[in-house]
Chain A
Amino acid sequence: MTQIVLKTEGLTLGYGDRAVIDDLSMAFPDRQVTSILGPNGCGKSTLLRALARLLRPSRGTVTLDGEDVFSLDTRALARRLAILPQAPNAPDGITVMELIKRGRTPWRGLLAAWSAQDLEKCTAALRHVGLGDQMDRPLNTLSGGQRQRAWIALVLAQDTPYLLLDEPTTWLDLRHQLEVLTLLRERNRRDGTTVITVLHDLNLAARYSDHLVLLGPAGLVATGAPDDVLSEDNLRHAFGLEAMVTPDPVTGTPMIVPR
């Protein structure tokens, strides 16, 4: 029996007059990996931003443990829920460790010195993403895959039970995509972190997620386990795509083959 803590109720989101998400009520299962899927412009990132309180809904609410996220203290929310946006800004010359340390900000007293625990969380996050021996390297000298893992280490160091990531695998080659998704799932399995990502690749999402949210041009198409969500009918509704769904020869999860 999975517990549900993060929910949307009658959520309507839009920039200006155009509603991108209209009257969406749904739940994100706790301690699972959920991927939000859908065609370009269907509001995947918009939904994720609203979950993290980066976007104020025009109607409806996002609730965490029954409380409207907008009623929570900003810092308190930052200790429970972390978000890695799509294009964060890397300050000039910043080293990997200096970057990760900023992830501890919500836990630090206003003028407090660095505690052993803060530093331990930072090094643990770096080890987890495989950058334990790169902490003094400037971020801009790392490869694209390493850099993305450094950003992920920052939100891991934030040490929250909820971890939201907006297209964490974009711009990465396939091997690095797998690396990133593997480490997110490890984090979920080991610490019970609820991971919610926006992804583009349906097959990878099916492999690495426990739960899928499929959005289409007209809103929510389906939500549930990958086997149920990724049906030929649902794909037609969401993407206007004629595709065959067969079991992935390696993992047995649904695999989409466009016709």
Chain B
Amino acid sequence: MKGTLLVIALLLLAILLSLSVGQVMIGPAALWDGLWHGSGPGALFLRVLRGPGVGTALGAGAVLGMSGAIFQILLRNPLASPDVMGFTSGAGLAAIWGVSAGIALPIPLFSAIGGLVAAGAVILLATDRNGSQPPLTLILVGLGVGFFAAAASSFIMTRLPHQEATEAQRWLTGSLAARNWGHALQVLGLGAALTFALALQVRSLALLELGDDLAAGLGTRISRSRGLLALTGVLLAATGVAVAGPLPFIALMAAPLGARLTGARHPAGRLASAAAAGAIITVLADLAARAAIPGLQLPVGVMTGILGAPYLIWLLVREMETGDL
């Protein structure tokens, strides 16, 4: 309970800081005023300049966090997340391909297809002779698929005109610059729908956590449940990628951080904690990206990379020490 309050407080603080701090500082009072009145500096920053970016960051962080938690619980491995396993890179590749080819379809559709194709490729390549997919093989094959998708994205980028290539480069790093309310509503709306679908599957996730045989004995249809959970996880990640690009490491870090903050143990609580932690990290990383170098807006992915890469290295070292890798 104390942990839950702490996370909510942190989330509100992150939102407030992110709305206030930047090249121009806006106090909480002005923001409060702007919430209720349509004019003045508070309204400008809340409704036009910073609000949409913060809303998009919240949504993208939350969906990526939940996606990471799903795969980490499902595969019982802290390294299993859609960014490490190449799903977000696949989603990014499809989106950039769709945009560069000038196909007039919504970006989330491309990112969803890209994420699913990447996940399908990972599963196919990682399946051993007995028809099962050892978690570690999935992760390593996923790394490979991710590298391939990233390289293919770079290739497409080089074929673009200079201006668009710069834009694409930012997006592929993971960017929340120039987001409008359309982006925020898109990620929050799709995220809410997928969260509802996930809520219906939490029980099977809680059983799968006990091992496949016991879960089956308790009434779970194993392949079907796993498939649906993985599908939901990929779509959640793709929803985040569609508005923020393949933001690295959010999905990897959110669940362990969230569980540590709230102390949640049941998958339902861990998914909610991961969503909150993902949102906090993304909002703060976006803030840091805007405020780190005055006059220059870094892509938020640079910040999550600086934060996430050391965590990944620490995780790898620990896994090797405990013999899990």
Contacts and interface: CB of A to CB of B under 8 A. Distances in A.
A77 interface: yes
A248 B218 CA distance: 38
B72 to A, nearest CB: 11
Summarize B's interface: helix, strand, loop or mixed.
loop
Interface string A62-99: 00000000000011011101111101111111110010
B209 A77 contact: no
Nearest to A106: B219
Given A78-B218, A83-B213, A110 B200 contact: yes
A250 B209 CA distance: 43
Contact of B219 (A77, A91, A98): A77
Contact of A49 (B207, B210, B213, B221): B213
B35 interface: no
10 contacts: A78-B218, A79-B219, A84-B217, A91-B209, A91-B210, A95-B265, A102-B218, A105-B218, A110-B200, A158-B218
B255 to A, nearest CB: 12
B154 interface: no
A73 B116 CA distance: 30
Interface in A167-190: none
A53 interface: yes
B220 A74 contact: yes
B214 A83 contact: yes
A53 B216 contact: yes
Interface string B257-286: 000000001100000000000000000000
A84 B214 contact: yes
B47 interface: no
A54 interface: yes
B76 interface: yes
A77 B217 CA distance: 8
Task: Using C-beta atoms within 8 Å of the partner chain, give the interface range for chain A.
Answer: 20 to 34
Contact of B211 (A52, A77, A85): A85
B217 A52 contact: yes
A103 interface: yes
A92 B122 CA distance: 27
Given A89-B211, A102-B207, A78 B265 contact: no
A83 B217 contact: yes
Contacts of B213: 49, 54, 83, 85, 88
Nearest to A15: B130
Nearest to A160: B217
Contacts of A89: 76, 209-211, 214
Interface in B188-218: 200, 203, 206-207, 209-211, 213-214, 216-218
Given A105-B203, A105-B207, A91 B218 contact: no
Given A93-B265, A98-B266, A87 B211 contact: yes
Candidate in A52, A83, A91, A98 with the most chain B CB atoms within 10 angstroms: A91
A192 B219 CA distance: 22
Nearest to A76: B219
